[in-house]
Protein backbone atom coordinates (compact mmCIF):
# COMPACT_ATOMS: atom_id res chain seq x y z
CA UNK A 1 0.00 0.00 0.00
CA UNK A 2 1.65 3.19 -1.21
CA UNK A 3 1.10 6.13 1.14
CA UNK A 4 1.61 8.66 -1.66
CA UNK A 5 -0.73 7.33 -4.36
CA UNK A 6 -3.28 10.13 -3.87
CA UNK A 7 -1.02 13.04 -2.91
CA UNK A 8 -2.29 16.24 -4.53
CA UNK A 9 -5.72 14.72 -5.23
CA UNK A 10 -9.06 15.62 -3.68
CA UNK A 11 -11.40 12.78 -2.77
CA UNK A 12 -15.06 13.23 -1.76
CA UNK A 13 -16.84 10.32 -0.06
CA UNK A 14 -20.46 10.02 1.11
CA UNK A 15 -21.31 7.70 3.98
CA UNK A 16 -24.06 6.62 6.33
CA UNK A 17 -27.82 6.84 6.03
CA UNK A 18 -29.92 9.90 5.35
CA UNK A 19 -32.84 10.93 7.56
CA UNK A 20 -36.01 12.21 5.96
CA UNK A 21 -38.18 14.19 8.37
CA UNK A 22 -41.88 13.43 8.76
CA UNK A 23 -42.53 16.01 11.50
CA UNK A 24 -40.37 17.66 14.20
CA UNK A 25 -39.86 14.35 16.05
CA UNK A 26 -40.07 11.58 13.42
CA UNK A 27 -38.12 10.50 10.36
CA UNK A 28 -37.59 7.74 7.79
CA UNK A 29 -34.13 6.20 7.59
CA UNK A 30 -32.23 2.91 7.25
CA UNK A 31 -29.67 0.74 9.10
CA UNK A 32 -26.53 1.94 7.32
CA UNK A 33 -23.67 2.12 9.85
CA UNK A 34 -21.35 4.25 7.71
CA UNK A 35 -18.45 1.80 8.29
CA UNK A 36 -17.54 1.28 4.62
CA UNK A 37 -17.54 5.01 3.79
CA UNK A 38 -15.56 5.96 6.91
CA UNK A 39 -13.01 3.21 6.15
CA UNK A 40 -12.66 4.51 2.59
CA UNK A 41 -12.14 8.06 3.89
CA UNK A 42 -9.43 6.84 6.28
CA UNK A 43 -7.69 4.94 3.45
CA UNK A 44 -7.89 7.94 1.08
CA UNK A 45 -6.36 10.24 3.72
CA UNK A 46 -3.62 7.64 4.39
CA UNK A 47 -2.89 7.60 0.66
CA UNK A 48 -2.26 11.37 0.83
CA UNK A 49 -5.51 12.81 -0.55
CA UNK A 50 -7.32 15.85 0.72
CA UNK A 51 -10.37 13.89 1.87
CA UNK A 52 -13.88 15.23 2.40
CA UNK A 53 -16.32 12.89 4.14
CA UNK A 54 -19.95 13.93 3.70
CA UNK A 55 -21.85 11.89 6.23
CA UNK A 56 -25.43 11.30 7.29
CA UNK A 57 -26.10 10.67 10.99
CA UNK A 58 -24.00 7.77 12.32
CA UNK A 59 -22.15 6.74 15.48
CA UNK A 60 -18.60 6.69 14.12
CA UNK A 61 -15.81 9.13 14.93
CA UNK A 62 -14.42 10.75 11.76
CA UNK A 63 -10.89 9.57 10.83
CA UNK A 64 -7.99 11.94 11.42
CA UNK A 65 -7.01 14.37 8.66
CA UNK A 66 -10.46 14.07 7.05
CA UNK A 67 -12.79 17.05 6.58
CA UNK A 68 -16.08 15.90 8.09
CA UNK A 69 -19.24 17.48 6.70
CA UNK A 70 -22.37 16.44 8.59
CA UNK A 71 -25.69 16.33 6.77
CA UNK A 72 -29.12 14.96 7.64
CA UNK A 73 -31.34 14.59 4.56
CA UNK A 74 -30.69 13.55 0.97
CA UNK A 75 -31.34 17.15 -0.12
CA UNK A 76 -28.64 18.40 2.31
CA UNK A 77 -26.28 15.68 1.07
CA UNK A 78 -26.87 16.65 -2.57
CA UNK A 79 -26.10 20.32 -1.90
CA UNK A 80 -22.88 19.45 -0.02
CA UNK A 81 -21.82 16.97 -2.70
CA UNK A 82 -22.33 19.35 -5.62
CA UNK A 83 -20.32 21.99 -3.76
CA UNK A 84 -17.36 19.73 -2.98
CA UNK A 85 -17.40 17.38 -5.99
CA UNK A 86 -16.87 20.08 -8.61
CA UNK A 87 -13.12 20.20 -9.19
CA UNK A 88 -12.40 17.08 -7.12
CA UNK A 89 -10.60 14.04 -8.57
CA UNK A 90 -12.50 11.09 -7.12
CA UNK A 91 -16.06 10.81 -5.78
CA UNK A 92 -17.22 7.67 -3.98
CA UNK A 93 -20.90 7.30 -3.05
CA UNK A 94 -20.99 4.89 -0.13
CA UNK A 95 -24.02 6.51 1.53
CA UNK A 96 -27.33 4.67 1.78
CA UNK A 97 -29.42 7.56 0.53
CA UNK A 98 -33.16 7.26 1.19
CA UNK A 99 -34.91 6.74 -2.14
CA UNK A 100 -37.99 8.70 -1.02
CA UNK A 101 -38.89 11.44 1.45
CA UNK A 102 -42.24 12.59 2.84
CA UNK A 103 -43.90 15.00 0.40
CA UNK A 104 -44.51 17.45 3.26
CA UNK A 105 -42.74 17.92 6.58
CA UNK A 106 -45.42 18.70 9.18
CA UNK A 107 -44.53 21.82 11.16
CA UNK A 108 -46.12 20.43 14.31
CA UNK A 109 -45.96 16.91 15.72
CA UNK A 110 -48.58 14.79 13.94
CA UNK A 111 -51.39 13.79 16.29
CA UNK A 112 -52.77 10.28 16.58
CA UNK A 113 -56.23 10.06 15.03
CA UNK A 114 -58.93 7.44 15.63
CA UNK A 115 -58.28 5.85 12.23
CA UNK A 116 -56.53 2.46 12.18
CA UNK A 117 -54.41 3.33 9.17
CA UNK A 118 -52.57 6.39 8.04
CA UNK A 119 -51.09 7.25 4.66
CA UNK A 120 -47.80 9.01 4.13
CA UNK A 121 -47.18 10.37 0.64
CA UNK A 122 -43.55 10.08 -0.45
CA UNK A 123 -41.69 11.81 -3.28
CA UNK A 124 -38.51 10.62 -4.95
CA UNK A 125 -35.20 11.97 -3.70
CA UNK A 126 -32.60 13.28 -6.17
CA UNK A 127 -29.99 10.74 -7.30
CA UNK A 128 -26.86 12.31 -5.82
CA UNK A 129 -24.27 10.23 -7.60
CA UNK A 130 -25.93 10.61 -11.00
CA UNK A 131 -25.96 14.39 -10.43
CA UNK A 132 -22.24 14.36 -9.60
CA UNK A 133 -21.42 12.18 -12.63
CA UNK A 134 -23.34 14.65 -14.84
CA UNK A 135 -21.25 17.68 -13.72
CA UNK A 136 -19.20 19.40 -16.44
CA UNK A 137 -15.92 18.77 -14.64
CA UNK A 138 -17.08 15.50 -13.07
CA UNK A 139 -14.62 13.60 -10.88
CA UNK A 140 -13.96 9.89 -11.47
CA UNK A 141 -17.22 8.68 -9.94
CA UNK A 142 -17.72 5.41 -8.06
CA UNK A 143 -21.12 4.08 -6.96
CA UNK A 144 -21.89 1.25 -4.57
CA UNK A 145 -24.54 -1.28 -5.50
CA UNK A 146 -25.94 -3.17 -2.53
CA UNK A 147 -28.11 -5.93 -3.93
CA UNK A 148 -29.80 -9.02 -2.51
CA UNK A 149 -30.22 -10.86 -5.83
CA UNK A 150 -28.76 -10.80 -9.37
CA UNK A 151 -25.95 -8.70 -7.85
CA UNK A 152 -23.63 -8.37 -10.85
CA UNK A 153 -26.43 -7.93 -13.37
CA UNK A 154 -28.00 -5.04 -11.41
CA UNK A 155 -24.57 -3.51 -10.77
CA UNK A 156 -23.65 -3.54 -14.47
CA UNK A 157 -26.99 -1.87 -15.18
CA UNK A 158 -26.17 0.84 -12.60
CA UNK A 159 -22.87 1.61 -14.35
CA UNK A 160 -24.80 2.49 -17.51
CA UNK A 161 -27.91 4.07 -15.99
CA UNK A 162 -26.13 6.38 -13.53
CA UNK A 163 -23.32 7.06 -16.05
CA UNK A 164 -20.67 6.50 -13.38
CA UNK A 165 -17.09 5.33 -14.04
CA UNK A 166 -17.16 2.37 -11.69
CA UNK A 167 -19.57 0.35 -9.55
CA UNK A 168 -18.65 -1.62 -6.42
CA UNK A 169 -21.21 -4.40 -6.01
CA UNK A 170 -21.92 -6.14 -2.75
CA UNK A 171 -24.33 -8.93 -1.93
CA UNK A 172 -26.31 -7.87 1.12
CA UNK A 173 -28.06 -11.24 1.40
CA UNK A 174 -24.85 -13.03 2.46
CA UNK A 175 -24.35 -13.39 6.25
CA UNK A 176 -21.51 -11.46 7.90
CA UNK A 177 -20.84 -8.98 5.12
CA UNK A 178 -22.22 -5.69 3.84
CA UNK A 179 -24.84 -3.61 5.62
CA UNK A 180 -23.83 -2.89 9.22
CA UNK A 181 -21.15 -5.65 9.28
CA UNK A 182 -17.43 -5.30 9.99
CA UNK A 183 -16.55 -7.27 6.86
CA UNK A 184 -17.44 -6.93 3.22
CA UNK A 185 -16.92 -8.81 -0.05
CA UNK A 186 -17.35 -6.95 -3.33
CA UNK A 187 -16.85 -6.98 -7.07
CA UNK A 188 -15.48 -3.82 -8.67
CA UNK A 189 -16.96 -3.30 -12.12
CA UNK A 190 -15.81 -0.78 -14.68
CA UNK A 191 -15.61 -0.64 -18.46
CA UNK A 192 -12.33 -2.60 -18.35
CA UNK A 193 -13.81 -5.60 -16.57
CA UNK A 194 -14.46 -7.00 -13.13
CA UNK A 195 -12.24 -7.49 -10.07
CA UNK A 196 -13.39 -9.71 -7.20
CA UNK A 197 -12.49 -9.01 -3.54
CA UNK A 198 -13.48 -11.92 -1.28
CA UNK A 199 -14.55 -11.39 2.34
CA UNK A 200 -12.19 -9.22 4.44
CA UNK A 201 -12.46 -6.40 6.99
CA UNK A 202 -13.83 -3.08 5.72
CA UNK A 203 -10.60 -1.19 6.59
CA UNK A 204 -8.52 -3.77 4.67
CA UNK A 205 -10.92 -3.76 1.73
CA UNK A 206 -10.99 0.06 1.73
CA UNK A 207 -7.18 0.22 1.39
CA UNK A 208 -7.23 -2.20 -1.53
CA UNK A 209 -10.08 -0.40 -3.28
CA UNK A 210 -8.38 3.00 -2.84
CA UNK A 211 -5.10 1.57 -4.22
CA UNK A 212 -6.91 0.23 -7.28
CA UNK A 213 -8.94 3.42 -7.83
CA UNK A 214 -5.79 5.57 -7.52
CA UNK A 215 -4.38 3.74 -10.56
CA UNK A 216 -7.47 4.74 -12.55
CA UNK A 217 -7.07 8.51 -12.02
Residues placed in the known binding site for CTP: 99, 109, 126-129, 144, 158, 162
Binding mask 128-167 for ligand C5P (x = CB under 6 A): xx-------------xxx------------x---------
Binding mask 92-131 for ligand C5P (x = CB under 6 A): -x-x-x---------------------------x-xxx--
Query: Which one, of 184, 195, 21, lies nearest residue 103 by Cα?
Result: 21
Give the residue ranges of DSSP H helices in 58-139.
74-85, 128-133
Would you say 37 or 63 has its CB closer to ligand C5P? 37
Q: Could you say which of 74, 151, 210, 213 contacts ligand C5P (CB under 6 A)?
A: 74
Residue 170 known to be catalytic: no
Q: Which residues, in sequence order, are CB contacts of 56 under 8 Å at separation 6+? A: 14, 15, 16, 17, 18, 19, 32, 34, 71, 72, 77, 95, 96
Q: Is 48 left (phi over 0), alpha (psi -120 to 50) or beta?
A: left
Site residues (vs ligand C5P, CB under 6 A): 14, 74, 93, 95, 97, 125, 127-129, 143-145, 158
Amino acid sequence: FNVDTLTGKTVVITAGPTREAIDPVRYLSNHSSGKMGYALAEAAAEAGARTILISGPCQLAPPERVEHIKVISADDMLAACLGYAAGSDLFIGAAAVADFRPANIAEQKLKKSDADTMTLTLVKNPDIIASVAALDAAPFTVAFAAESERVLEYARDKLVRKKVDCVIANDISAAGIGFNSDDNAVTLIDRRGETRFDQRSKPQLARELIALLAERL
